[in-house]
Amino acid sequence: MYIEQIQVTKKNPIASLYPMTKLWIVLIYSVMSGIIASIRFDGYAYLLFAWFLIVPTLTFLSGVTLARFWKAISKVLLVASMIILLQAFLVQTAGEGKPIVELVRWYITDKPFVIAPTIYQYGLQNGIELSMNIMNVAGIFVWMFQTTENKELSRALEKSGMHYKSTYVFMSSLQMIEVLGKNSKTIMNAQRARGVETEGNLLVRMRAFFPSIVPLVLSAVTNTEERVLTLESKGFDTTCKKTRVFEVTKNGYEPLALIITCALSLVFLVWRVLQWVR
């Protein structure tokens, strides 16, 4: 009964794909993002926007709610938007001797100074390419981790030949982000209960942030010691054959998923080759 309870069962055929198959899809998608970025129309990599639509579509078909996907991707979108703005306003040309093309210039006059924010063509083109590459790669990884539990991926990596110690380090690294996030929120709530001001302008937040670092680091060290003792009690370093209670299995749709991924990638790859030939 216990073994049945710890197994992960999914009814959705996409979400239940074998973790290594999902990893191959992520790698192919990420590589193709770089290739598609080189297909430009009037200097702009417009196709990256269409390529990104695959991510929310795949997420929706996997049974993940768009609200959950948006919660994760919105942070990446903020970074991507900042990259576009910085590139568009600061990067003027591709290099020395190259022409500077201004798309928009705003004049803000306050004698004797004149401020003229300007959007440069090369900066905007470069910003779109960089930001959309980040959105594509981060988005496909968000899809994978929202449809795959850490223990599924770790077990699949171990079955593919990775050493069990390396697998444990990988799984612990993934879990540590979530654990530190929860501990940080707990510490900040405790600071508020003591009357420490944690909300306000940037200076107030910085003042509240640094006193929270010490207990966060100490709790991480304490948890590490407890993990070591737990692993030792379970014979983690023993060289005997180990029994795996948790297992991951293939659902049978893996070949079809890889065929569709490769076929779609091949279409864009052939298109790119034809663009080079012309």
- Per-residue DSSP letters for 257-277? HHHHHHHHHHHHHHHHHHHHH
Express as a percent the part of the chain with pLDDT over 90.
Answer: 17
| Residues 122, 232 within the same domain | no
| Residues 141, 159 within the same domain | no
The residue with greater pLDDT, 73 or 6, is 73
Whole-structure pTM value: 0.80
Residue 159 has pLDDT above 70, yes or no: yes
| Residues 94, 208 within the same domain | no
Establish if 5 belongs to a structural domain: no
* Backbone dihedral region for residue 123 (phi beyond 0: left; psi -120 to 50: alpha; all else: beta): alpha
Establish if 103 belongs to a structural domain: yes
Q: How confident is the model at residue 11 (pLDDT cuts 50, 70, 90)?
A: confident
Measured CA to CA, the distance from residue 185 to residue 160 in angstroms comes to 37
pLDDT, one tens digit per residue, over 12-63 is 889 889 999 999 999 999 999 988 888 888 888 888 898 899 999 999 999 8
| Residues 73, 130 within the same domain | yes
In terms of C-beta density within 10 A (0-12 exposed, 13-18 middle, 19 or more buried), how is residue 135 classed? buried
pLDDT value at residue 244: 75
Degrees (nearest 5) of the Cα angle 201, 87, 132?
Answer: 95
| Residues 256, 241 within the same domain | no
- Where does 1-149 have alpha helices with state H? 2-6, 19-36, 47-52, 54-61, 66-90, 121-147
Domain, as residue range, for 228 = 150-247
| Residues 194, 111 within the same domain | no
The residue with greater pLDDT, 69 or 208, is 69
| Residues 78, 188 within the same domain | no
pLDDT value at residue 113: 59
Measured CA to CA, the distance from residue 39 to residue 45 in angstroms comes to 6
Establish if 133 belongs to a structural domain: yes
DSSP, collapsed to helix, strand or coil, labels residue 44 as strand
pLDDT, one tens digit per residue, over 117-146 is 788 888 888 889 999 999 999 999 999 989
Whether 136 contacts 82, CB under 8 Å: no
Total count of residues recorded for the chain: 278
Of 34-38, 77-81, 82-86, 209-213, the least confident: 209-213
Counted domains in the chain: 2
Q: How confident is the model at residue 196 (pLDDT cuts 50, 70, 90)?
A: low
Establish if 41 belongs to a structural domain: yes
Measured CA to CA, the distance from residue 135 to residue 23 in angstroms comes to 17
| Residues 129, 185 within the same domain | no
Establish if 2 belongs to a structural domain: no
